[in-house]
Amino acid sequence: MKVLVIGGAGYIGSHTARALRRHGHEVTIYDNLSTGHDYLAQGFQLVVADMGDVSQLRTALRGIDAVIHFAAHAYVGESVSDPRKYFRNNVEAGLALLNTAVDLGVLKFVFSSTCAVYGTPAKVPITEDATRQPINPYGVSKLFFENALEAYDRAYGVRFAALRYFNAAGADESGEIGELHEPEPHLIPLALAATRKGSSLQIFGTDYPTPDGTCIRDYIHVNDLAEAHVLALHRLARGESSFAANLGTGKGHSVFEIVKAVESITGATVNRVQSPRRPGDPPALVADPSRAQQLLQWKATRSLEDIVATAWRWMERTPAEA
C-alpha cells in the first residue's frame, strides 16, 4: 500500500515508517519539522508542510491508500498553560487532514491516540471500556479526534484504528534513529542523561500509594508500537471494522525501578533530586493490552532492559547534526 505518514519525522512516526517499509509498503512522510527532524526521515520521500495546509494535503494525498496520523502536540503541562495551541493543531488541523482524506476517498486511517483519554482511571489495568474522561487539554484534544473518527465512520465509511499508547520508550536496535525531543519530557532519556556529570533527574513525588511511593507507568518499546501500527493497517486493509485498542505491555514499572534499570545498564549512578508531586499525575497507568493481542495477533516482546539498552545506545550514538 501507499501510506502517508503524518508526523513521520518524529519519534514514533519515524520508527513506524521503517516498519512499514520492512513490510513492503511505499511510504511518504509529511511533517512540518516543528518538532520532527529531517534526519529521522532520511531515505523517505519527505513533504515539509503544515497539517492544516489543505492545498499541500490534497497534493500529498493523491494516490495514497491509507493515512497514519502522528502529528500532535503532546506535552500535558503545556496543554494546560497554552490550550489554544493544542486545539488549533490537534483538533483544527487534524480535522483539515481528516476532511481532505475523506474528500479524496482515502478512508483507511490509523490514529496515534493516548491513554490520556482515560484521565485518572478507576481501576488498573485499564481496558478500552473504561470511561474516557481526560483531565487535561491534551487528552481532551485526542478524545475529540477519536469522536470525530467514530462519527466519520458512521457517516462517510472511514475505517480507523485508534491506538491508545501508554509510555513509548527505547530506540531502534540499529542505533540509527531514536528519541529527539527539545525539551526532553520523558523519564528514561532524562534518567540516562542524569548519569552524566552536571545533570540530575527530578523525581516528582515519593509518597504515592504504590509499593515504593513513586508513580507506576507501562513502558513499551517504540518498535513494538511501530509493529502494532502496521498490523492495524493490515486489519483495516482486509475490510475489518474500526476499533480502538490499548498498546502497552500490561506490566507497570515505578520511577525507582526505572532508575535501577538505568544504573544496571549504564554502570553509572543516576544523579537525582526528589521534588513534590506534580498536579494531575495519577499514581499508576497500566494497560490491559488484551484487545490488541486478540484483534492484531500482537504482543509487546521487548523488555524494560531492552528499552533502556536501546535508548542508551542511541544516546551514545546520537549524531551532532541531529
* Domains within the chain, CATH numbers bracketed: 2-169+219-247 (3.40.50.720), 187-217+250-317 (3.90.25.10)
Residues carrying an active site annotation: 138
What separation, in Å, do the N-terminal and C-terminal C-alpha atoms of the chain show? 30
Q: Average pLDDT, stretch 190-217?
A: 95
Q: Average pLDDT, stretch 275-290?
A: 90
Q: What is the structure's pLDDT at 317?
A: 85
The pLDDT tens digits of the residues spanning 172-196 come to: 999 999 998 877 889 999 999 999 9
pLDDT higher than threshold 70 for residue 322: no
Coil, helix or strand at residue 148: helix
The per-residue pLDDT of the chain, averaged, comes to 95
Q: How far apart are CA 164 and CA 233, in angstroms?
A: 15
Going by pLDDT thresholds of 50, 70 and 90, the confidence category of residue 320 is very low
**Cα-based distances in Å from 319 to 15, 175, 197, 322:** 17, 10, 20, 5
